[in-house]
């Protein structure tokens, strides 16, 4: 690809960040996907790209081991890129229109069992960082938050009287999510210490040891370290607590729509992946509910 293609890609990134006001993380993801397209295409210019060229790139990437989900995300970025080129740079067609990617086997989210979650959320030390971690992880599990949502929370986002938290989710959409009593208690204890170390001008709910807003990397590192201390063998990352929240609520209530609202999913299909239940739980439900299930 020539310099003009690279300039068009940069212009697209500027459009996403400055006009669409997408997050820096989203803009970087788009830029990465467009860069992959430009390096894989055999055409000299973007104007020459045809559907067969897009199919060829998809086949090459799939052959290198990229999953259907990753390819679908990339194709969506490419489609949006060409739509932008048609609108703002007089391109004539979108070669990604109607294109599909190979399907990959859908992997179920990993979730801890209720017992494992209880084990994870045990804390013995009472130092400052442990008090903070307990509040963070309890809130994670209590409300099913995304990592970015948690790190962007402010103290005023928690309503202790109502037992709720106001979350700014994907696409700038705000939702109100319940917070359990255990998490509320942990948050109240943390706030007593948080005020002592917060640096002037810092408005984040969760802070580093230096009084600044905590980073996503630090949250992940602390959770992994604590899970090892609690002798949990599985790989525990922040999204595991979100998965566990959704799975446990569904196992108890079966209310898919309510879980969709709490998770902040735009489409019910995103929530349906959490409807898996372990076989033992299904067997117990079957034995209790079905009139011919129990052996005599």
Is 170 a residue of the active site? yes
From the list 132, 152, 226, 265, the catalytic residue is 265
Is 294 a residue of the active site? no
* Conformational region of residue 178, where left means phi above 0, alpha means psi within -120 to 50, and beta covers everything else: beta
Q: Which two tokens stand for residue 296?
A: 């005599």
Is 265 a residue of the active site? yes
From the list 28, 53, 83, 239, the catalytic residue is 239
From the list 146, 152, 226, 243, the catalytic residue is 146
CA-closest candidate to residue 265, choices 242, 284, 286? 242
Is 248 a residue of the active site? no
Is 32 a residue of the active site? no
CA-closest candidate to residue 74, choices 92, 84, 86, 62? 62
246-249: long-range contacts (C-beta < 8 A, 24 or more apart)? 246/109, 246/111, 246/144, 246/271, 246/274, 247/109, 247/111, 247/274, 247/276, 247/277, 248/111, 248/114, 248/117, 249/144
From the list 170, 217, 221, 276, the catalytic residue is 170
From the list 132, 242, 243, 248, the catalytic residue is 242
- Burial code (b: 16+ CB inside 10 Å, e: under 16) for 101-117 equals beeeeeeeeebbeeebb
What is the set of active-site residues? 146, 170, 239, 242, 265, 274
């Amino acid at each position: 690809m020539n310099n003009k293609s690279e300039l068009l890609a940069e212009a697209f990134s500027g459009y996403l960040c400055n006009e669409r006001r997408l997050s820096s993380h989203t803009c970087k993801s788009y830029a990465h996907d467009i860069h992959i397209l430009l390096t894989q295409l055999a055409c000299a210019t973007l104007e020459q790209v045809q559907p067969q060229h897009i199919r060829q790139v998809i086949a090459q990437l799939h052959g290198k081991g990229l999953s259907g989900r990753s390819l679908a995300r990339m194709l969506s970025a490419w489609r949006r890129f060409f739509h932008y080129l048609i609108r703002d740079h007089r391109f004539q067609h979108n070669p990604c229109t109607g294109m599909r990617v190979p399907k990959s086997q859908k992997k179920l989210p990993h979730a801890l069992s209720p017992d494992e979650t209880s084990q994870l959320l045990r804390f013995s030390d009472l130092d400052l960082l442990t008090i903070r971690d307990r509040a963070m992880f309890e809130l994670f599990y209590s409300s099913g938050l995304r990592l970015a949502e948690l790190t962007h929370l402010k103290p005023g986002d928690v309503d202790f009287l109502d037992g709720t938290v106001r979350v700014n989710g994907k696409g700038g959409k705000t939702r109100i999510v319940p917070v359990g009593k255990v998490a509320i208690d942990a948050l109240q204890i943390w706030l007593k210490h948080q005020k002592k170390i917060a640096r002037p001008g810092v408005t984040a709910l969760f802070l580093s040891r230096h009084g600044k807003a905590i980073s996503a990397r630090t949250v992940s590192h602390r959770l992994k370290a604590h899970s090892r201390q609690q002798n949990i063998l599985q790989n525990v990352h922040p999204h595991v607590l979100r998965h566990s929240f959704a799975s446990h609520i569904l196992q108890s209530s079966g209310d898919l729509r309510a879980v969709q609202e709490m998770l902040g999913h735009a489409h019910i299909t995103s929530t349906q992946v959490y409807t898996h239940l372990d076989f033992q739980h299904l067997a117990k439900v079957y034995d209790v509910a079905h009139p011919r299930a129990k052996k005599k």
